């Protein structure tokens, strides 16, 4: 089964927020934001804007009936700035006008006087000034103090990874309108409908039940709409509450890029110790996370950096500390991998550095340190059913590694102006929200009288095809055609108190709840069928739209059975709740068992460098990935390819730049380059590894959304490898993205 939306996507018929037919009297919003990154607001003069014909209202913090506060983890972020601004792009007011054109004109008429304050843009500056979001956190295993003394080799270094713009095709947007009795409906492009509902209610000072949030689908989220769809939705709801009129607010690309947070840049300082057998004995890192001007999801993201600090390796002695540094950038936020990629980059860099100093290829160190069953992670979880060596070994076999290596060496011997480079990138990624409390979901299933089925869950469709997978689950369970099943929009009145669609766990959580709801209905239907067919319940099966008695098709169709059940006054609806069993984590000890299971895989990347110009092609990326028992290999491979290319973009070309005053320079598609078909690898070869899956994965089909992004890290090290082949004397740099400019400088250093 293909993504069920592909037909309407291709025809341009799929609905996004901007496509909704708007109601009469709808007002259009444009956000007035800070043009400087840190300042006191001395005076704002709205009079000229207010005087413009067609401007209905300019909303500021003064119009907020409830709390001017949108911070979800830490309450440190106002919806509208009051007397200070802390980053360029920070919202100060919302102009509401009869047309978008008028609103845009009005925003230019606002006069503001700032008293500018010093601006901090880098994590290191903030760290040196002790400007933090929250206290640092440390994961520890073994005893680092003694362990380094016992190492044969010890190396130290630093790394930098830049941020990343989400660049979802659909920008942030919302359409909100009044219902009766002061109730408000918000149609939002959000990964977290409940977050929107909760924050909007708190800002408006009303009960959550007065706010209904609906999500049709997202034109991509990638983490950028986990928390940061909320301010726009809340502003629109505020407009509705104040004026009792519908409000539409869609950010234009420039505004979206300037106002919203991105992947966190990290500066990290590491020390790695090995014994003579190349075993990693000790590893220590200080991660400086550039959190931006408010917490947003930074504490949770910092935590995941620690969870993935040792990537796919067993490290007996480790001390990993993360500092969430407060700067004058937009609050950085979730982005596919959620801090994991930043953590993994550091240990890969440390291994690369050790390999260079020892004059051996990095894969020799990687290989002898891969995790095995019963190894302990620094957070206390014991690794089980580890597939990392299996994927590594299968990949080596598939690509015929020994010969491949010879070919690469031979090529490099024969070519002076182009060089090949290669790398292995193993990944081990934990599945579950690291905050145990968030790992639950619900489903609501209605079977209608005619046998058709409607399903609601908390899952948000954002291109990852969760709806297709949910459809598959219900159709399979009931033994009916998928055309009989409809996945409804995500709506807080049908499924409440949801966790955001994130952490790659959406199908696991919502799909398991769906299975349970279907089971309950099926159980009742089996009783009816057994009475109708006069056979025992145990022999009843649902298949091909009919009821089977053992292996034999009966005359009773699904549709008739449903009519029979209805006539007997049997409930054809069910809601079910699933929460991941067994997981726990104790933050006071920083130990526990936070993940339901891990996803594994290995990538082998070959790049070809043009040593005159510094440009490069990615020749191939071969991947052996642990899908478990994939329930939809087409969709899952699509996720791997998409994530890989997104990871490559982060590592090689996407370069977010702020000037020293904290103004975003890479604020459009002419100054911010994402991978296109020309820069994608020439060959991407994704193989599914034979594995048993895991019982906590939906139908043993493992979560797939985020883990493969980290295969992209391999491209960085393949490029380093190629540079070294041309200029063995160049100094290793761990400073991503590795743009052609940086490559060129390294080649001729
Ligand atoms: N795939 C598409 N096409 N669009 C997206 O926005 N988001 C990614 C991933 N794959 C995303 C995507 C992120 S960040 C996550 S956490 C998962 O999908 C979320 O969905 P899942 O839990 O259903 O995998
Ligand atoms: N992953 C993704 N999103 C999240 C998480 C997580 O572990 N925790 C809170 N939001
Ligand atoms: Mo994904 S970063 O967990 O939305």
* Cα angle 572, 576, 578; round to 5: 160
Q: Using CA atoms, how far apart are residues 136 and 285, in angstroms rounded to an integer?
A: 12
Pairing type for strands 27-33 and 91-97 reads antiparallel
pLDDT band at 134 (very low <50, low <70, confident <90, very high): very high
β 247-250/546-549 pair status: unpaired
Cα distance between residue 5 and residue 537, in whole Å: 37
Does the pLDDT value for residue 143 go beyond 80?
Answer: yes
Strand partners, 188: 174
Out of 3.50.50.60, 3.40.50.620, 3.30.70.20, 3.30.365.10, select the CATH number for domain 440-579: 3.30.365.10
282 vs 140: CA distance, rounded Å: 11
The DSSP annotation for 70-139 comes to --SSSS---SS-SSEE-STT-EEEEEEESSHHHHHHHHTT-EEEEEE-----SHHHHHHTT-BSS--EEE
**Residue 162 pLDDT > 90, yes or no?**
yes
Furthest-apart CA pair in the chain: how many Å?
A: 85
Could you tell me the two tokens for 720?
């380093």
**100 vs 82: CA distance, rounded Å:** 25
Question: Which 3 state secondary structure label does DSSP give 20?
Answer: coil
For the Cβ of 466 lying below 6 angstroms from any atom of ligand 1, the answer is yes
Residue 691 pLDDT more than 90? no
What lies within 8 Å, CB to CB, of 433 at 6+ separation is 439, 499, 502, 503, 505
How many angstroms does the Cα of residue 707 sit away from the middle of ligand 2? 13
For ligand 3, what atom is nearest to the CA of residue 337? 2
- The dihedral through the CA atoms of 565, 566, 567, 568 has a sign that is positive
272-294 pLDDT, tens per residue? 999 999 999 999 999 999 999 99
DSSP one-letter code for 289: E
Measured in angstroms, how far is the CA atom of residue 743 from the centroid of ligand 1? 31
Phi, psi of 608 (to 5 degrees): -120, 125
Sort 85 into a burial class: Cβ within 10 Å, 0-12 / 13-18 / 19+. Answer: buried
CA distance 531 to 556: 12
| pLDDT tens digits for range 458-484 | 999 999 999 999 999 999 999 999 999
Q: Which of 77, 165, 706, 749 is catalytic?
A: 706
State the closest ligand 3 atom to the C-alpha of 224, by its place in the atom list counted from 1: 4
* Domain spanning 26-117+172-250: CATH superfamily: Aldehyde oxidase/xanthine dehydrogenase, a/b hammerhead (3.90.1170.50)
- The answer to whether the CB of 334 is under 6 A from ligand 2 is yes
Domain at 266-434+587-747, CATH class = alpha beta
Buried b (16+ CB within 10 A) or exposed e, 632-662: beebbbbbbbbbbbbbbbbbbbbbbebeeeb
C-alpha of residue 303 to centroid of ligand 2, in Å: 9
The arithmetic mean of pLDDT across residues 655-668, rounded, is 97
Pairing relation of β-strands 84-85 and 153-161? Answer: unpaired
706 annotated active-site: yes
Are 266-434+587-747 and 440-579 in the same CATH fold? yes
Q: Which ligand is nearest to the CA of 429?
A: 2
Binned at pLDDT 50, 70 and 90, residue 749 comes out as: confident
Round to whole Å and give the CA distance between 582 and 382. 13
User: The tokens of 697 are what?
Assistant: 């994965």
Split at pLDDT 50, 70, 90, the class of 597 is very high
SS3 content of the chain, % helix, strand, coil (to 5): 35, 25, 40
Q: What are the tokens at 474? A: 């219900």
**In the prediction, which pLDDT does 713 show?**
99
Give the per-residue pLDDT at 690: 76
Q: Is the CB of 335 under 6 A from ligand 3?
A: yes
pLDDT tens digits for range 361-380: 999 999 999 999 999 999 99
Give mean pLDDT, residues 618-625: 98
pLDDT digits (tens, 9 = 90+) for 190-227: 999 999 999 999 999 999 999 999 999 999 999 999 99
How many Å apart are CA 484 and CA 37, to the nearest integer? 53
Per-residue model confidence (pLDDT) at position 1: 76
Confidence of residue 547 (pLDDT cuts 50, 70, 90): very high
Q: In what order do the strands lie in the sheet with 546-549?
A: 540-543, 546-549, 552-557
Q: What is the pLDDT of residues 291-348, one digit of tens each?
A: 999 999 999 999 999 999 999 999 999 999 999 999 999 999 999 999 999 999 999 9
Q: What is the pLDDT of residues 72-85, one digit of tens each?
A: 999 999 999 999 99
The pLDDT confidence band at residue 130, using thresholds 50, 70 and 90, is very high
Alpha helix (H) ranges present in 695-739? 713-726
Q: Is 304 in the pocket of ligand 3 (CB under 6 A)?
A: no
CB of 264 closer than 6 angstroms to any ligand 3 atom: no
| Residues 621-644, mean pLDDT to the nearest whole number | 98
Q: In percent, how much of the chain has pLDDT > 70?
A: 100
Q: Which residues have CB under 8 Å from 190's CB, separation 6+?
A: 196, 213, 215, 218, 225, 229, 230, 233, 460, 500
- Label residue 681 exposed, middle or buried (CB < 10 Å: 0-12, 13-18, 19+): buried
Domain ranges of the chain: 26-117+172-250, 266-434+587-747, 440-579
Nearest to 545 by CA among 454, 451, 455, 470: 451
Please tell me the distance from the alpha carbon of residue 114 to that of residue 129, in angstroms, as a whole number.
23
Closest ligand, as measured to the CA of 262: 3
pLDDT digit string, tens, across residues 164-196: 999 999 999 999 999 999 999 999 999 999 999
Rounded average pLDDT over 36-61: 98
Among 337, 513, 705, name the best residue to mutate to test ligand 1's pocket (greatest count of ligand atoms within 8 A of Cβ).
Answer: 705
Of 335, 305, 304, 291, whose CA–CA distance to 134 is shortest?
291
- On average, the pLDDT of the chain sits at 98
- Give the pLDDT score at 459: 98
Cα 219 to ligand 1 centroid, rounded to whole Å: 11
Q: How far apart are the C-alpha atoms of 718 and 620, rounded to whole Å?
A: 11
* pLDDT tier at 2, thresholds 50, 70, 90: confident
| Ligand 1 site, residue 503, Cβ cutoff 6 A | yes
pLDDT for position 529? 98
Judge if the beta carbon of residue 304 lies within 6 A of ligand 2.
Answer: yes
Residue 112 forms beta bridges with which residues?
44
């Amino acid at each position: 089964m293909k993504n069920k939306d592909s037909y309407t996507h291709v025809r341009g018929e799929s609905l996004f927020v901007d496509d909704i037919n708007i109601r009469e009297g709808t007002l259009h919003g444009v956000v007035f934001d800070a043009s400087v990154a840190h300042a006191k607001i001395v005076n704002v003069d709205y009079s000229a804007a207010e005087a413009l014909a067609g401007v209905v209202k300019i909303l500021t913090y003064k119009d907020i009936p409830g709390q001017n506060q949108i911070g979800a983890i830490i309450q440190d972020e106002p919806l509208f700035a009051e007397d200070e601004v802390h980053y360029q792009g920070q919202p100060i007011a919302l102009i509401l006008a009869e047309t978008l054109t008028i609103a845009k004109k009005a925003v230019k008429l606002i006069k503001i006087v700032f008293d500018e304050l010093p601006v901090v843009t880098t994590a290191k500056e903030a760290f040196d000034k002790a400007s933090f979001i929250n206290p640092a956190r440390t994961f520890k295993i073994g005893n680092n103090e003694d362990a380094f003394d016992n190492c044969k080799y010890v190396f130290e270094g630093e790394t930098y990874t830049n941020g990343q713009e989400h660049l979802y095709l659909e920008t942030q947007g919302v359409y909100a309108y009044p219902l009766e009795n002061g109730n408000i409906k918000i149609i939002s492009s959000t990964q977290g409908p409940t977050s929107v509902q909760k924050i909007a209610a708190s800002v408006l000072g009303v009960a959550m039940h007065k706010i209904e949030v609906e999500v049709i689908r997202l034109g991509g989220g990638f983490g950028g709409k986990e928390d940061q769809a909320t301010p726009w939705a809340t502003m629109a709801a505020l407009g509705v509450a104040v004026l009792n009129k519908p409000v539409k607010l869609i950010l234009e690309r420039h505004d979206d890029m300037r106002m919203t947070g991105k992947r966190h840049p990290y500066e990290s300082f590491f020390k790695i110790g090995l014994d003579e057998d190349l075993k990693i004995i000790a590893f220590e890192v200080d991660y400086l996370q550039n959190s931006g001007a408010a917490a947003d999801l930074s504490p949770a993201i910092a935590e995941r950096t620690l969870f993935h600090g040792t990537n796919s390796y067993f490290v007996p002695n480790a001390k990993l500390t993360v500092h969430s540094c407060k700067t004058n950038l937009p609050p950085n936020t979730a982005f596919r991998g959620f801090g994991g990629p930043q953590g993994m980059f550091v240990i890969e860099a440390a291994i690369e550095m050790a390999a260079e100093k020892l004059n051996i290829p990095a894969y020799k160190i990687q290989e002898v340190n891969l995790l095995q069953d019963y190894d302990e992670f620094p957070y206390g979880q014991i690794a089980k059913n580890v597939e990392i060596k299996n994927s590594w070994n299968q990949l080596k076999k598939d690509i015929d590694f020994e010969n491949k290596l010879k070919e690469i060496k031979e090529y490099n011997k024969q070519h002076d102006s182009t060089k090949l480079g290669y790398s292995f990138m193993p990944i081990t990624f934990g599945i579950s929200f690291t905050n145990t409390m968030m790992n639950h979901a619900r489903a609501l299933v209605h079977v209608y009288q005619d046998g058709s089925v409607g399903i609601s869950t908390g899952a948000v469709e954002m291109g990852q095809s969760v709806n297709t997978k949910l459809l598959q689950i219900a159709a399979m369970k009931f033994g009916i055609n998928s055309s009989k099943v409809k996945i409804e929009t995500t709506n807080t009145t049908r499924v409440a108190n949801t966790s955001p669609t994130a952490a790659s766990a959406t199908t696991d959580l919502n799909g398991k709840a769906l299975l349970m709801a279907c089971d309950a209905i099926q159980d009742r239907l089996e009783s009816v069928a057994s009475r109708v067919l006069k056979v025992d319940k145990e022999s009843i099966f649902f298949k091909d739209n009919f009821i089977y008695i053992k292996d034999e098709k009966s005359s009773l169709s699904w549709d008739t059975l449903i009519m029979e059940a209805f006539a007997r006054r049997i409930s054809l609806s069910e809601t079910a709740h699933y929460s991941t069993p067994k997981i726990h984590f104790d933050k006071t000890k920083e130990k526990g068992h936070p993940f339901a299971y891990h996803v594994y895989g290995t990538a082998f990347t070959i790049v070809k460098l043009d040593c005159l110009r510094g440009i490069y092609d990615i020749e191939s990326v071969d991947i052996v990935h642990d899908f478990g028992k994939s329930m939809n290999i087409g969709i899952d491979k699509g996720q791997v390819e998409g994530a890989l290319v997104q990871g490559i973009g982060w590592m090689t070309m996407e370069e977010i730049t702020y000037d020293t005053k904290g103004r975003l320079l890479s604020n459009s598609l002419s100054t911010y380059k994402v991978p296109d078909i020309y820069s994608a690898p020439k060959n991407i070869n994704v193989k599914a590894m034979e594995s048993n899956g895991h019982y906590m994965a939906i139908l043993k089909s493992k979560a797939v959304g985020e883990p493969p992004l980290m295969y992209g890290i391999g491209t960085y090290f393949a490029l380093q490898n190629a540079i070294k082949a041309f200029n063995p004397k160049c100094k290793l740099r761990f400073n991503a993205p590795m743009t052609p400019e940086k490559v060129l400088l390294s080649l001729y250093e």
